[in-house]
Amino acid sequence: MKEFKIAVIPGDGIGVDITEQALKVMEKVAAKYDTKLNFTELKAGGCAIDAFGTPLPTETLEECKKSDAVLLGAVGGPKWDTLPGDQRPEKALLGLRGGLGLYANLRPAKVYDVLKSASPLKDSIIEKGVDLLVVRELVGGIYFGERGRRTVDGLNAAYDTEQYNVEEIKRIAHVAFKSAMKRNKKVTSVDKANILEASRLWRETVIEVSKEYPEVELNHLYVDNTAMQLVKDPSQFDVILTNNIFGDILSDEASMITGSIGMLASSSLREDSFGMYEPIHGSAPDIAGMDLANPLAQILSAAMLFEYSLGMAEAARDIEAAIERVLNNGYRTGDIYTEGMKKVGTKEMGALVLAEI
């Protein structure tokens, strides 16, 4: 029997609700494949601030480092919005990504056939299909660059620095090209090379890396054009490769094309098999504990954990197929509900997926 240690951070708000359902699915799938998962529950985000006075306790980070993977729910909420920026719950995310060396964020955006009506795009656009992957550099760029405030011409001013070195660009580019090799062999590299020097280095380096992947088609788009093309014709994209800030924005745009952020998972990876897995939605404290949240994004995040960190791709496919069957049978949580479907809550949706495995 194989054994793995999984760090579990339910976090805040609905993070607790959806993580509970995901863990049940993970245990059942693991048992099917003669695998034992040892879960260690940890605090980060707002709940950690309340308990320990810090969004990311040292113990949490150290336990994560000892694990094979991390499953994260959601952090944050209005309760902590008045705290200084470096003390807010979201600081835990940056601390986990940086402290664990998670430099590659993979965010798939897929429209399920039975959920096409939920997309805000016209039928003529969405009928072409959407199945893309945003590969975002996660620990560099403007979010981690030099920043500060100073006086300029007698006025208070602030600055944030966008900076990348060649090696940082190379390693994220390799992730994108390797991902494309498993998909439709097309990479769209997104930058602002007509204006930014950091983007010019980005483009030069991506072109150089592309020579190692002759089977993969590479094209380049400016970030503003990419934003327009995602709305105009998302079916043209396979793998989108981009920096930290552009990826943050574009991945959110791509998620809304699918119709519900409650359906989308993500993973943050480093060079080895270690990764942190989380849904892309927030903590939604207004519905926490009310059996209303959609657990499917968290369950899909668990599927990515099986595939990327545990090397159990077949188990991941089992979870994905179970979710498709539940959706095809007409079951919906409130965020994806349409007239004529069967509305269910968090717990029942989790139980339905569990029954299909």
Segments of the chain assigned to CATH 3.40.718.10: 1-104+264-357, 120-257
pLDDT tens digits, residue range 36-56? Answer: 999 999 999 999 999 999 999
Q: Nearest to residue 215, comparing CAs of 189, 242, 240, 178?
A: 178
Q: Does 224 qualify as catalytic in the annotation? A: yes
- pLDDT for the residue numbered 256: 86
Q: Does 347 qualify as catalytic in the annotation? A: no
- pLDDT for the residue numbered 274: 97
Q: Does 170 qualify as catalytic in the annotation? A: no
Other C-beta atoms lying within 10 Å of the C-beta of residue 82:
7
**The one catalytic residue among 143, 213, 308, 331:** 143
Q: What is the mean pLDDT of residues 332-357?
A: 95
Residue 171 backbone phi and psi in degrees, to 5? -70, -35
Q: Which residue has the tokens 């509305």?
A: 343
Q: Extract the tokens encoding 140.
A: 């560099």
Give the homologous superfamily in CATH for domain 120-257.
Isopropylmalate Dehydrogenase (3.40.718.10)
pTM of the model: 0.88
Q: Nearest to residue 275, comparing CAs of 306, 246, 252, 248?
A: 306
Q: What is the mean pLDDT of residues 129-152?
A: 94
**The one catalytic residue among 81, 224, 286, 291:** 224
**The one catalytic residue among 186, 252, 337, 343:** 252
- pLDDT for the residue numbered 22: 98
How far from 225 is each of 131, 145, 199, 306, CA to CA, in Å? 19, 25, 15, 35
Judging by DSSP bridges, how do beta strands 239-242 and 186-191 pair with one another? parallel
Q: Which residue has the tokens 């979201």?
A: 90
How far from 220 is each of 133, 150, 335, CA to CA, in Å? 16, 36, 35
pLDDT tens digits, residue range 6-23? Answer: 999 999 999 999 999 999
**The one catalytic residue among 116, 192, 343, 347:** 192
On whether the CB atoms of residues 263 and 109 are closer than 8 A, the answer is no
- pLDDT for the residue numbered 112: 86
Q: Does 185 qualify as catalytic in the annotation? A: no
Give the homologous superfamily in CATH for domain 1-104+264-357.
Isopropylmalate Dehydrogenase (3.40.718.10)
How far from 171 is each of 130, 189, 190, 235, 240, CA to CA, in Å? 26, 14, 16, 26, 15
- pLDDT for the residue numbered 116: 86
What does the alpha-carbon distance between residue 243 and residue 72 come to, in Å, rounded to a whole number?
Answer: 23
How are strands ordered across the β-sheet holding 69-74?
35-41, 2-11, 69-74, 275-279, 265-269, 104-110, 131-137, 239-242, 186-191, 217-222
**The one catalytic residue among 12, 238, 248, 335:** 248
> For all residues of the chain together, what is the average pLDDT?
95
pLDDT tens digits, residue range 295-305? Answer: 999 999 999 99
Q: Does 252 qualify as catalytic in the annotation? A: yes
Q: Nearest to residue 51, comparing CAs of 89, 82, 77, 22?
A: 89
CA 298 vs. chain centroid, Å, equals 10
Q: Extract the tokens encoding 191.
A: 């930058």
Q: At what angle do helices 197-210 and 166-181 cross, to 10 degrees?
A: 50
User: What's the angle, vertex CA 101, arms to CA 58 and CA 53, rounded to 5?
Assistant: 25
Other C-beta atoms lying within 10 Å of the C-beta of residue 163:
14
Tally of CA atoms within 13 A in the half-sphere of 41 that contains its CB: 9
